[in-house]
Structure 1
Amino acid sequence: MEDQTKVQIITIMGKSESQMDIVEKSTKLMKKSWTLIEIALSVLLLLMTSTVVALAVLYTTQRDKQFSSSTDKVCMTAGCVAAAARLIQNMDSSVSPCEDFYKYACGGWLSKHVIPETSSRYNVFDIVTDDLEVILKGVLERPDDRDRDAFKKAKQLYKSCINDTLIAGRDSEPLLNLLDAVGGWPVATSDWDVMKEPGWSLETILPQLNANYNNRVVVDIFVWTDDRDSSRHILYVDQPTLGMPSRDYYFGDSNYKKVREAYLQFMISIAKMIREDRNITKNDTFVEEEMMKVLELETEMANATATPEERHDITQMYNKMTIAQLQKKYDLHGFDWLQFIQGIMSTVDIEVHPEEEIVVYATEYLQKLKHILPKYSKSTLQNYLVWRLVIDHVSNLSRRFKDARANYRKALYGTTVEEARWRVCASYINANMKNAVGALYVRETFAGDSKKMVKDLIDKIREVFIETLDDLEWMDPASKQKAQEKAMAIKEQIGYPDYILEEDNPKLDEEYALLNFSESKYFENILENLKAGIQKSLRKLREKVDQDLWMIGAAVVNAFYSPNLNQIVFPAGILQPPFFSKHQHQALNFGAIGMVIAHEIIHGFDDNGRKFDKNGNMYDWWSNFSATHFKDQSSCMVHQYGNYTWDLAGGENVSGISTLSENIADNGGIRQAYKAYLNWVKKGGEVVKLPGLNLTHKQLFFLSFAQVWCGSYRPEYARQAIKIEVHTPLKFRVIGSLQNFEAFAEAFQCLRGSRMHPVKKCRVW
């Protein structure tokens, strides 16, 4: 069961576009069988060698002669030919690599790939994910009477999700039942009266929404590892998410106003639909006025939240206190914090007391919230709370509810078509039954020997990180020693947890033992999943931290670092082409998965990761000398990336502060991976070229790195991403990292002062 809590992990790629759908496309993978491709290519090579050579000559004669090296051997294995074809198709060799390496590497990809009508963005990760979901569809639809319980439940949940006819037949019935369970929706209820609800209070309704539906509104509260003591769990209080993805949508002009208006119409439409289904007298003016009040309330809360830049430094956010102290500092006009927190924890039979320690991440928000809540009636507050529950579940209802949100989705993401139902379902099951689905995926397609090869790459790159410490003049010996100790202590998780494939190990089935799904009640299955997930998370408050915890499932095209666990994770989903293959040129492996590995290792030493020690505790192990110089080195990148202007986002600049951690990881990652590759070559590695590509192995490394980030965005999503994403837009991830790397300029013989070889360069690691 996927924990429904805030997970403090850092990824190589951002999350997918929709925060509105319960089904998020957060897990990406691949299905293609390279064996079949290689067999086909081998046959073609035997029959068409002369044609391949002719095509290679035709291509290379159009390339700049400065890169030629006719004495090098050319690799003509099936793996090399397949990789070369992919690289060539994605490139635009008419562009100078010294002027715009992103277009040089990805111009062909951009010209051949159109963003699907269902998506707000499209990139290499998304393509691999799309292919992954085809595999998941196959394994989830395949009947097998011999399945273990975990697999049976995953397939049963999938069947309930895929049955559009049954979902349509039930129409609004599941939602109406849900509204009754949470006390009603005043705007769509004929007899909801504050005077008839004497027991209503935020302290009673908020715990119900949190513990039963993982709906954490007004105030967010969750259980996670104590940042200052990684051996235990603790309660956190934080500012909540909002109905729209970014606070800017609530008061910005231009496109933000357009999204805001569509959001309000979405709210009004759903409320009217529920009133009609309840056979309540039509009163459009009343509905519009009530939902306007809801938007006003949410706008005030949005204005009270801190910006991403203000929340960037985790040490500034961390404020430990007791519940009694919380009550004294932030009483919110009589809000009973102990009753609220106990109301949540009582659902898992845990008792808290006034001296229970908690961590408050949002002190300024709570201070401002005190002045907001008294302005609004109980009816408006209940209207808002229920609306936030409704918006979470619109995607799980019949078509007319999805149609009601269409204009909002178009304004927000630029999308005009819903995902195919089977994709929605495969993604949802993968996200919520990660280990069961992960096991099905690994059994179907993952090459087990990849684990050992990736472990070897990790060791090589870790070794390079430690070697590189000696080159850093801004860091003193004592801090270097601590950094080395932390690097050596980083734990790695590769592919998948072994137990999910062990037939005689009951652990996998036990994870889902309390879940009972009905093939005819998908909506209720979702609610059961939500409740099980959040309650599993809440129970951890009295449990010791599992230092070997897998943070994510195996069927994911991404990579992760956890500062609390000092752990890097590389799921099976990313351990395949174009990121990694034992059949492709090692320059490509080091440039792609090697950079991903190095990127995640560097996260342990970025501007926030460096604040955690080797045991995952937030502890200042830096000398004043090293800390001061780290900030100086980092400020160079803040300025560099903050000056990138993104046309798609209306000409807004990238936030150099919000993206700093990822930019440090990108820049350090490409350096470390490149050095590790050169070390491998020195020890007798490849010097062969790829067919049709008149490039050196060093140039292939950089080309492989850049092509991992080929992708495009819709303008609507770009305006959102630039506000909420911690990752720099794809093209700037490539350009920024390589502009700072002298070795890139040397490999492509770029003149100093050219765009890709600026005089001023930034470096941290």
Structure 2
Amino acid sequence: MADDPRAPRPSTDEETAPLLQNVSHPDDNHDPQERQPTFIERVAAVVQEPLSPLTKILLVATLLFLLLSSIFIGLFAGAQHKLNSGKGGSTTTVIVTATATTTARATATTTAVATTTVAIPAPAPTTPPEEPVCLSPSCINLASSVLSSLDETQDPCENFYDFASQSSHDIVDTRAHPIPSDKGSFGNFEALAQQNRRLLQQILSEDASARFAATSASDYDQQILKKLRGLYRSCMAEDELNEIGEKPLREMAQKIRDLFRGKTTVVDSLENEEDKERARLTATVAYLHSRAIDALFSYDIDGDVGNDPNLMTLWISQPELGLPSKEYYEEESIVDLYQTVLERLLLTLDEDEEESQAQAIEASKLVVHEERLRVWPPWPWPPWGDDDNGHEEPLNQTERARKYSKEVVTFEKKIANASLDLDVLFQDPIATYNPVSFKNVSEQLPQFDFSTYFSAFAPRSFPSTIVLTSTTYLSSLSSILNETDTATLEAYFITRAGLSYASYLGLDTEAWKATRSLEEVLRGIKKGAVGDRAEYCVARVESAMGFAAGRYFVNETFGGESKEKATKVITGIIEAFKESLQHLDWMDEKSAKAAAEKADAIRVKVGFPVSPDTLNPRSIANYYSRVKVHEDTFFDNMLSARVADEIRRWLKLGKQRDPEEWEMYPSMVNAYFNPPANEIVFPAGILQPPFFSQDWPGYMSYGSFGQIAAHELTHAFDSAGRLYNQQGKLEQWWTNKTSEGFNERQKCIVEQYSNYTIDDGKGGKIHVNGNLTSGENIGDSGIILAYRAWKAQYDSGVENGIEFLLPGLNYTRDQLFFISFARAWAQNIKPESAVARVRTDPHSPNRYRVEGTVSNLPEFAKAFKCSPHAKLNPPQEKRCMFW
């Protein structure tokens, strides 16, 4: 083995010599010159001897043993071949003796001893001490997946992400298997979601009724399954969708025109023209918001974190944009494409030519009239003029679509410039908490009738106080509206609907193709590539009725001791966090005590919710009672589900928070921390391999699921979470000294991650936004808490048999802990998707979530015996350490 100081060191008890040798005995009197019988002669003599019964038995036993040994060695031939085929570096041939003992998992205990010669490339793993090895099928599968995920040509102290996660065969092989052509990225998170959806697909299939009869016997289950399967079936009916075409979206677009042009009795009853305009704008926005379409502004119903975190209050914020972030509006090629997409939508959703011509004439007259009022003396003069001077010739449909698509892009760009940067929106809860009175909101946006708007959604819970995420956005929006003509606003509203709902149309429709062309460029998807329709439809059913689908998912996947074992990992990490508080030099005693109290107060939710109650079909049926699913179009069914979601949101206004409510459904591959509720939530969907299994050894469980649990716990004390006390209230509950110490470390991690870059796919580099990602990076630093929690329970784990070794893995448990952490983040991502992620996602790219995290941990460098000069073993003073 090369003497590379960065390479992992083999353990000192590794055997390096043959077990048997020819040894001279001092009492031997044989003449050394005397001829000894040759090996062939000795064998011949033995063969000629008659065999005793005992000898025959021993020979048969020996043959059986050799056969079993051959089978065992064959199981790992592929893995050993990989170890022998590393690129570059010197290799050392060693003799490894492994004593393998199956545990009770395999229902019987057998012991096998095998001696074999293997070639280990540098950098080599540290060989663990000889201990019993688990040989159950689950252990063999887990060991195989770990081995196949490793790229041992990489030095873990230099490129740990590539070393641990760049050939993950357990779910996704990032080297051998390219990203699916219809996706912008693919990794273990995406692959597990795909795996979960395959199970849901079986549940949604009509021929699966017999298999799931045990969980669908009640009348309520029949109601739930009828809706789920009806929604799925309507999505799968591609021929019918293409035959229907754009009709459902056209009808929505016409409804928007009617509202915005005042074709309602309410508007007609108003005498003042200004009141009519306000009523038209309000009615249009309310209609769009009721269908979950952001327009002009967005809203949410959440706790009043500055007063009573459990009192559900109205929040108003900036809207989503047609492009993912502000930066895209500065890229000419993207803007040109986006403008073309909007033009195609406007052409497709335009009204009849004759009616649109008349509307264009009226719109142009209004524009001229408004322009005359802005200048003095009026021009042209005289202001009444001839009819020919009152307006330009109306544009045809194509010209009009091109004109207003450009105007919509300009309008959206103004909104983008008036919006908060995402790092402020995501990371500064103090700056984004601005409670104001209803009167204040109305004064900031006088063109909008908030009284009518609120009455349409919440007539019984009219909000007296509203929380604004920005103190300036509504005022800026008011100025923007004054600069924008009505025809542009109408086009904006129609394109907002088109971008939101075109994906529910048939694939042959122009609206679907237009929006898809934009998605292809923004995510790097192969042009014209369409994925599996069933996978898409299951995902849409999940988004529409996730708690209903989750009921059957949980019944199939989340049994045994999964909930108890996952909860034990979480509570162990909470205890490790509280212990670490006593040793932080930047946190004083008062703040540490308060932090421990907050940790104790965190609500831990695992698996599935009880509101709605996953195990109670009546609760689920009632929750989705407003979702109407018939044999109508998929578009109408999804519209019904989204409207029901918005009604449920508004019904919370003015009420106390439901402490049992979840923001994610059970099959989701995700987890979250909710600051106002002070809760951490782990759906059953993520409690599956490669993140969790109740049969895994402790070091694997804490390295994989433990990192997720620690990440969410640490969010309670990150750059934003630390500003909420244990009741979820936004206030200063740390001392000034402790806050200053935290801020120093936050600055360190912002600078660290701001130095990381990604390739933009065009020969350039884009830096990670350290401010935007600081909260998630601090959350990732919580892996050290999972490590300490694992160490704290190690002795009892050994006694309880959960720290067993896996076959064929010549790594220490500490090394496997970090390998388990890193391999979960295996991912391939296209440059376009990587750019979109850096600009919009508060999480860092996966490579830096691994390497940026472990470079701050001395425990990692110690586990892999990294050189002081290794990239991932910086000097202590350059590490950003929180816990």
TM-score class normalised by the smaller sequence:
0.7 to 0.9
Aligned partner of 1:260: which letter? V
Distance apart, 1:344 and its partner CA = 3.7
Deviates more, 1:168-177 or 1:596-605: 168-177
Distance apart, 1:498 and its partner CA = 4.9
Distance apart, 1:217 and its partner CA = 1.2
The answer to whether the aligner puts 1:763 opposite 2:838 as a matched pair is no
Which residue is equivalent to 1:671? 784
The answer to whether the aligner puts 1:533 opposite 2:597 as a matched pair is no
Distance apart, 1:380 and its partner CA = 0.9
Deviates more, 1:49-58 or 1:646-655: 49-58
Which residue is equivalent to 2:175? 111
- Selected match of 1:319 from 434, 453, 459: 434
Distance apart, 1:421 and its partner CA = 2.1
Which residue is equivalent to 1:681? 794
Structure 2 distance, partners of 1:630, 1:488, is 21
The answer to whether the aligner puts 1:131 opposite 2:195 as a matched pair is yes
SS of alignment partner, residue 658 of structure 1: helix
Which residue is equivalent to 1:578? 690
Partner deviation per Cα, 1:539-577 (whole Å, 9 max, x = no partner) = 111221112212211011111110011111111111111
Aligned partner of 2:314: which letter? L
The answer to whether the aligner puts 1:221 opposite 2:336 as a matched pair is no
In structure 2, do the counterparts of structure 1 residues 531 and 341 end up closer, same or farther at CA, with 3 Å as the change threshold? Answer: farther
Structure 1 distance, partners of 2:606, 2:813, is 27
8 A contact 1:207–1:341 mirrored in 2:
no
SS of alignment partner, residue 94 of structure 1: coil
TM-score by length of 2: 0.76
Which residue is equivalent to 2:833? 717
Matching of residues 151-162 of structure 1 within 5 Å: 151-162=225-236
8 A contact 1:211–1:344 mirrored in 2:
no
Aligned partner of 1:413: which letter? R
8 A contact 1:211–1:535 mirrored in 2:
no
Partner deviation per Cα, 1:708-745 (whole Å, 9 max, x = no partner) = 00102111111111110100000000001100000000
Structure 2 distance, partners of 1:325, 1:197, is 20
8 A contact 2:310–2:656 mirrored in 1:
yes
Aligned partner of 1:676: which letter? A
Distance apart, 1:682 and its partner CA = 2.9
In structure 2, do the counterparts of structure 1 residues 48 and 257 end up closer, same or farther at CA, with 3 Å as the change threshold? Answer: farther
Percent identity reads: 29
Distance apart, 1:86 and its partner CA = 0.8
Partner deviation per Cα, 1:102-130 (whole Å, 9 max, x = no partner) = 11112324312311011111110011111
- Selected match of 2:471 from 341, 359, 363: 363
Which residue is equivalent to 1:614? 726
SS of alignment partner, residue 222 of structure 1: strand
Partner deviation per Cα, 1:397-454 (whole Å, 9 max, x = no partner) = 1222322234322221111313322222111111221111000111223224200111
8 A contact 2:305–2:676 mirrored in 1:
yes
Distance apart, 1:481 and its partner CA = 0.5
SS of alignment partner, residue 310 of structure 1: helix
Distance apart, 1:310 and its partner CA = 3.1
SS of alignment partner, residue 556 of structure 1: coil
Structure 2 distance, partners of 1:158, 1:412, is 28
In structure 2, do the counterparts of structure 1 residues 86 and 278 end up closer, same or farther at CA, with 3 Å as the change threshold? Answer: farther
Aligned partner of 1:481: which letter? K
The answer to whether the aligner puts 1:705 opposite 2:763 as a matched pair is no
Deviates more, 1:113-122 or 1:402-411: 402-411
The answer to whether the aligner puts 1:238 opposite 2:317 as a matched pair is yes
SS of alignment partner, residue 542 of structure 1: coil
SS of alignment partner, residue 536 of structure 1: helix
Aligned partner of 2:774: which letter? L
The answer to whether the aligner puts 1:352 opposite 2:467 as a matched pair is no
Structure 2 distance, partners of 1:206, 1:120, is 34
- Selected match of 2:413 from 276, 281, 299: 299
Deviates more, 1:654-663 or 1:209-218: 209-218
Partner deviation per Cα, 1:143-202 (whole Å, 9 max, x = no partner) = 648433222212211112221111111112111211222225999x9xxxxx99993436
The answer to whether the aligner puts 1:261 opposite 2:320 as a matched pair is no
Matching of residues 410-559 of structure 1 within 5 Å: 410-416=520-526, 417-498=529-610, 506-559=618-671
Structure 2 distance, partners of 1:408, 1:45, is 59
Structure 1 distance, partners of 2:585, 2:652, is 43
In structure 2, do the counterparts of structure 1 residues 469 and 70 end up closer, same or farther at CA, with 3 Å as the change threshold? Answer: closer
SS of alignment partner, residue 486 of structure 1: helix
SS of alignment partner, residue 199 of structure 1: helix
Structure 1 distance, partners of 2:567, 2:560, is 12
Aligned length: 704
Structure 2 distance, partners of 1:323, 1:215, is 23
The answer to whether the aligner puts 1:93 opposite 2:171 as a matched pair is no
8 A contact 2:184–2:829 mirrored in 1:
yes
Which residue is equivalent to 1:734? 850
SS of alignment partner, residue 543 of structure 1: coil
8 A contact 1:264–1:295 mirrored in 2:
yes
Which residue is equivalent to 1:49? 72
Which residue is equivalent to 1:14? none
TM-score by length of 1: 0.88
Matching of residues 561-640 of structure 1 within 5 Å: 561-640=673-752
Structure 1 distance, partners of 2:597, 2:288, is 40
Aligned partner of 2:600: which letter? M
Deviates more, 1:171-180 or 1:480-489: 171-180
The answer to whether the aligner puts 1:74 opposite 2:149 as a matched pair is no
Which residue is equivalent to 1:183? 257
Partner deviation per Cα, 1:492-530 (whole Å, 9 max, x = no partner) = 111112576777662111111222211222212222212
Distance apart, 1:598 and its partner CA = 0.7
Structure 1 distance, partners of 2:794, 2:189, is 28
Structure 2 distance, partners of 1:672, 1:366, is 43
Distance apart, 1:586 and its partner CA = 1.9
Distance apart, 1:221 and its partner CA = 2.5
In structure 2, do the counterparts of structure 1 residues 56 and 217 end up closer, same or farther at CA, with 3 Å as the change threshold? Answer: closer
Structure 2 distance, partners of 1:665, 1:474, is 18
8 A contact 1:148–1:509 mirrored in 2:
no
Which residue is equivalent to 2:286? 208
8 A contact 1:174–1:524 mirrored in 2:
yes
8 A contact 1:561–1:601 mirrored in 2:
yes
In structure 2, do the counterparts of structure 1 residues 171 and 186 end up closer, same or farther at CA, with 3 Å as the change threshold? Answer: farther
8 A contact 1:224–1:233 mirrored in 2:
yes
Aligned partner of 1:126: which letter? E
Structure 2 distance, partners of 1:449, 1:687, is 17
Aligned partner of 1:115: which letter? I
Partner deviation per Cα, 1:594-645 (whole Å, 9 max, x = no partner) = 1100110001000100111111111211100101111011111011011111
In structure 2, do the counterparts of structure 1 residues 503 and 491 end up closer, same or farther at CA, with 3 Å as the change threshold? Answer: closer
Structure 1 distance, partners of 2:238, 2:77, is 52
Structure 1 distance, partners of 2:205, 2:147, is 37
Structure 1 distance, partners of 2:302, 2:68, is 55
8 A contact 1:97–1:104 mirrored in 2:
yes
In structure 2, do the counterparts of structure 1 residues 178 and 468 end up closer, same or farther at CA, with 3 Å as the change threshold? Answer: same
Partner deviation per Cα, 1:254-290 (whole Å, 9 max, x = no partner) = xx32222111111111222234876878542222112
Which residue is equivalent to 2:52? none
SS of alignment partner, residue 301 of structure 2: strand
8 A contact 1:348–1:539 mirrored in 2:
yes
In structure 2, do the counterparts of structure 1 residues 445 and 45 end up closer, same or farther at CA, with 3 Å as the change threshold? Answer: farther
Give the unaligned 5+ runs of structure 2.
Answer: 1-66, 84-117, 169-173, 210-215, 264-271, 358-395
8 A contact 1:186–1:383 mirrored in 2:
no
